[in-house]
Amino acid sequence: MGEPAENAVVDPGLDEQIKKLTSEKIEGVITKVLTEETAARLDVYMRTCVHCGLCAEACHYCLSHDKDPRFSPVGKVKQTLWEILRRKGKVEPEFIRECARIAFTECNVCRRCSMYCPFGIDIAYLLLVVRRICSLLGVVPQYLQDTVNSHAVTSNQMWVKQDEWIDTLQWQEEDTQDEIKDARIPLDKEGAEIMYSVIGPEPKFLAQLLGNIAFIMNVAGIDWTMPSFDGWDNSNMAMYSGDCESRARIERTHDEAAFKLKVKKIVMGECGHAFRGAVYDGPKGLGWKEPPVPLIHAIQFYYELIRDGKVKIVKKFEGPVTVQDPCNVVRGRGLGKMLRYIMRAVCEDFRDVSPRFEHNYCCGAGGGVINCGPSWKSARVKGNSVKAEQLKATGAKVIITPCHNCHSGIEDIINYYKLGMHVKFFSEILVNAMEIPEELKV
Amino acid sequence: MYQFIAGPLVWIAFAVLIVGSMYRIISMLFQAKKDKVVYPYMSLRFSLRSLIHWFVPFAGVNMRRQPEMTVVTFAFHICLICTPIFLLPHNILIYRAWGISWWTLPKGVADVMTLIVVITSLIFLLRRVTSPVVKYVTSPSDYVLLAIAAAPFVTGFLAYHHVLPYKTMSVLHILSGVVMLAAIPFTRLSHMLFFVFTRSYMGSEFGAVRSSKDW
Ligand code: HEM
Ligand code: SF4
Ligand code: SF4
């Protein structure tokens, strides 16, 4: 249970939806998930956990709430799955609401606790099973469900229509041409080396980031393309809502766009959850170990550009800068070293964080929690005071977050804890630091 | 009665332990097929890498963050497993039954190790009632498990030192040992069986898929 104030959060996705539940329905769904959809992992994890509480040390919610046991990883499993298993699915609608609150808004499925539990129990997986049960019962925070609905209808997260998408790209192409001669955002170029994909919010709110990548691609002389059709959005909110069917469909659409364009690989923008969806958790859900089309994150792409001299740094970013290791790309795929390489290459005064790399604290956003919407924001930010302390200790004025969710999550933290810092994507400092060759200057 | 307890019942307990453990492990291996990702993810190299880091005291971050627990846990488990195996009286029994024996612990050392199990069990108990995080997730079964694990050591110590009537204590000692052995496959003591598997899986997932460390 959260603080009294958090209990009172109004969310029609939970409050209204539980009114439609009956005990038979709940029991049926739980039985289905426990017998048909889960197997050895759930069973062994539940039987192996010795209730030692050592995982509490891992969780930013628990650390930020003065080690309140309700926020410890095992404490969250106790409040949800233990009860569900003990009562063999015979639980009330009100209990399902509790489960939804805990699994969707009090665990960001960041997997830090798997590195602190001596058995390596995957608590995030257990809470994703709870989300799955809630999703099948239709009890999902309204904002999160809306993004999933958008995925289902439009194949992107933000209800962006195809003409809006193309318009935005053209607009950004024109803007880039103000700086780079004949800059292009090539659409649907078959056989290009690279397909670049982004998350839905980029065309919707952050079109400048599309301009940035156009700038970088044109200067570096990359053979690239973007799809004008469905599959351009690499995000996957269904992965977090527990809608496994949509999750699989979204990943397929993204992969198929790359197949249609016959590209050699996909490069994706600075987003962590999208990377998780496209590179490991999405394919995992489809029963694949690796994605069918090679796929790299922007961090690795920038790293290769800088390392190979395709992009030259001429004017390093001034002032103290620190960085966020997004769980989904650093704990999730080990890109922490490359991230530091590019940070040092582009910043004069890089201040590292502690803890860092896979031990970094989660932003509290990119596991679906931020997508639960504004009504849960206060709980999310209060549940991450350790992040504020960690960032403050660096003395930096700017923090680079190579992930959209970290970006928004940390911005909220900075505002709430009055840290006086600014959040930026890496591309924002890269475009100002890199050289524009004479022949490309306008 | 004593004959039965000291003889066939002990063999039955070992049989339950071995057959039960095999049953649990084999059914897990079958179940793991349904979890489509488990087998493809498994990697010997990364499993061993993870196991080594979790079998060596203080090799992992959390073990360093909670040093008291690390010392207590390692002391508890090492003594719990080694004392009965290398105890002279146990060896004599095995020698009488099968004609084989092995290295044994000096008497004083065995005594100390037994006491370590008892003391660390008490520390676990204390932690369960005082630490809010642990208390919150404690159910009666946790006390029962702790009692099952500690009982053979308490009774063995009392019997050996004739603190209480020898005959009664040794019957209690054997019975508690029997309960512990038979409980391993069917209670959360089965963490002994599954530790290697859960750790290997997480080690493989972190190493082979996530290119990062899990300690
Ligand atoms: C190689 C085999 C084993 C391994 C790797 C292992 C590992 C662990 C670990 C990692 C913990 C959690 C950390 C802690 O609470 O200290 C633990 C707890 C525990 N283990 Fe084991 N264990 C093994 C065998 C056993 C056996 C044979 C018993 C007893 C029959 C046992 C009894 C316990 C108990 C009672 C606890 C819980 C302590 C508490 O109340 O917090 N373990 N074990
Ligand atoms: S938020 Fe992260 S550390 Fe906390 S329980 Fe969830 S996965 Fe574990
Ligand atoms: S650290 Fe692992 S075994 Fe201990 S309570 Fe947490 S999940 Fe359970």
The ipTM (two decimal places) reads 0.94
The DSSP string of A180-226 is: BTT----BS-TT-SEEEEB-THHHHH-HHHHHHHHHHHHHHT--EEB
- Report the C-alpha gap between B12 and B14 in whole angstroms: 5
Contact A359 B61 (CB under 8 A): yes
Tell me the count of A-B CB pairs closer than 8 A: 140
For chain A, what is the mean pLDDT? 94
Pocket test for ligand 2, best of A113, A240, A331, A369 (most atoms within 8 A of CB): A113
**Residue A122 phi, psi dihedral angles, 5° rounding:** -90, 85
Global model pTM greater than 0.90 = yes
**Cβ–Cβ < 8 Å for A112, A362:** yes
Q: Which two tokens stand for residue B68?
A: 């008291």
Predicted confidence (pLDDT) at residue A288 exceeds the cutoff of 90: no
Q: Which atom of ligand 3 is nearest to the CA of A123?
A: 7
| Residue with CA nearest ligand 3 atom 4 | A52
Please give, one letter per residue, the 3-state secondary structure of chain B: CHHHHHCHHHHHHHHHHHHHHHHHHHHHHHHHHHCCCHHHHCCHHHHHHHHHHHHCCCCCHHHHHCHHHHHHHHHHHHHHHHHHHCCHHHHHHHHHHHCCCCCCCCHHHHHHHHHHHHHHHHHHHHHHHHCHHHHHCCCHHHHHHHHHHHHHHHHHHHHHCCCCCHHHHHHHHHHHHHHHHHHCCCCHHHHHHHHHHHHHHHHHHHHHHCCCCCC
A2: confidence class by pLDDT, cuts 50, 70, 90: very low
pLDDT digits (tens, 9 = 90+) for A304-325: 999 999 999 999 999 999 999 9
**Cβ–Cβ < 8 Å for A306, A313:** yes
**Cβ–Cβ < 8 Å for A116, B206:** no
Query: What is the pLDDT, as a whole number, of residue A3?
Result: 47
- For ligand 2, residues with CB inside 6 Å are A 58-59, 61, 73, 76, 107-113, 123-124, 362
The DSSP string of A226-274 is: B-SSTT-B---THHHHT-HHHHHHHHHHHHHHHHHHT-SEEEE-S-HHH
Comparing CB atoms, the residue among B188, B198, B215 nearest residue A115 is B215
Regions of chain B short of the pLDDT cut 50: none
Residue entry with tokens 């898929």: B209
Query: What is the pLDDT, as a whole number, of residue A4?
Result: 47
Contact A120 B201 (CB under 8 A): yes
pLDDT digits (tens, 9 = 90+) for A175-194: 999 999 999 999 999 999 99
Nearest to B142 by CA among B132, B127, B153, B157: B127
- Report the C-alpha gap between A69 and B157 in whole angstroms: 37
Percent of chain A whose pLDDT exceeds 90: 94
Residue of A63, A112, A115 to mutate, interface with B, max B Cβ within 10 Å = A115
Query: What is the pLDDT, as a whole number, of residue A325?
Result: 97
Predicted confidence (pLDDT) at residue A22 exceeds the cutoff of 90: yes
Residues of B in contact with A102 (CB under 8 A): none
Contact A119 B195 (CB under 8 A): yes
**Cβ–Cβ < 8 Å for B157, B106:** no
- Report the C-alpha gap between A279 and A259 in whole angstroms: 16
Residues of A in contact with B69 (CB under 8 A): 54
| Residue with CA nearest ligand 2 atom 5 | A73
Contact A40 B35 (CB under 8 A): yes
Measured CA distances, B37 to A256, A282, B41, B157 (Å): 22, 12, 6, 47
Architecture of domain A312-433: 3-Layer(aba) Sandwich (3.40)
- Report the C-alpha gap between A400 and A237 in whole angstroms: 23
Predicted confidence (pLDDT) at residue A244 exceeds the cutoff of 60: yes
How many Å lie between the centroid of ligand 1 and the Cα of residue B122? 14
Contact B197 A56 (CB under 8 A): no
Query: What is the pLDDT, as a whole number, of residue A7?
Result: 59
- Report the C-alpha gap between B176 and B165 in whole angstroms: 16
Neighbours of A225 (CB within 10 A): 24
Query: What is the pLDDT, as a whole number, of residue A426?
Result: 97
Pocket test for ligand 3, best of A46, A48, A54 (most atoms within 8 A of CB): A54
Predicted confidence (pLDDT) at residue A6 exceeds the cutoff of 70: no
Neighbours of A395 (CB within 10 A): 10
Q: Which two tokens stand for residue A395?
A: 């003395």
| Residue with CA nearest ligand 1 atom 24 | B192
Predicted confidence (pLDDT) at residue A286 exceeds the cutoff of 50: yes
Name which residue leads in pLDDT, A284 or A276.
A276
Residues of B in contact with A56 (CB under 8 A): 133
| Residue with CA nearest ligand 2 atom 8 | A113
Residue of B49, B127, B136, B213 to mutate, interface with A, max A Cβ within 10 Å = B136
Measured CA distances, A99 to A133, A135, A270, A375 (Å): 9, 11, 31, 17
Residues A208/A210/A216/A222 CA torsion (nearest 10 deg)? -170
Predicted confidence (pLDDT) at residue A46 exceeds the cutoff of 70: yes
Contact B198 A43 (CB under 8 A): no
Neighbours of B123 (CB within 10 A): 17
- Report the C-alpha gap between B185 and B166 in whole angstroms: 30
Q: Classify domain B2-20+42-209 by CATH number.
A: 1.20.950
Q: What are the residue ranges spanned by the domains of chain B? A: 2-20+42-209
Neighbours of A330 (CB within 10 A): 28
- Report the C-alpha gap between B48 and A334 in whole angstroms: 19
Comparing CB atoms, the residue among B29, B65, B188 nearest residue A50 is B188
- Report the C-alpha gap between A236 and A242 in whole angstroms: 11
Q: Which residues of B26-47 are buried (b: 16+ CB within 10 A; e: fewer)?
A: eebeebbeebbbbeebbbeebb
Pocket test for ligand 2, best of A79, A112, A240, A328 (most atoms within 8 A of CB): A112
Nearest to A9 by CA among A75, A101, A91: A101
First to last CA, chain A: 59
How many Å lie between the centroid of ligand 1 and the Cα of residue A50? 7
How many Å lie between the centroid of ligand 2 and the Cα of residue A386? 14
pLDDT digits (tens, 9 = 90+) for A322-349: 999 999 999 999 999 999 999 999 999 9
Predicted confidence (pLDDT) at residue A1 exceeds the cutoff of 80: no
How many Å lie between the centroid of ligand 3 and the Cα of residue B128? 13
| Residue with CA nearest ligand 3 atom 6 | A55
Residues of B in contact with A118 (CB under 8 A): 54, 62, 73, 195, 199
**Cβ–Cβ < 8 Å for B182, A300:** no
Nearest to A357 by CA among B211, B14, B68: B211
Contact A40 B211 (CB under 8 A): no
| Residue with CA nearest ligand 1 atom 16 | B73
Please state the rounded mean pLDDT for residues A395-408: 96
- For ligand 3, residues with CB inside 6 Å are A 49-55, 73-74, 117, 119, 121, 123
Q: What are the residue ranges spanned by the domains of chain A? A: 5-140, 145-304, 312-433
Q: How far is A55 from chain B (nearest CA, A)?
A: 9
Residue type, B50: S
Peptide bond into A291 cis (omega under 30): no
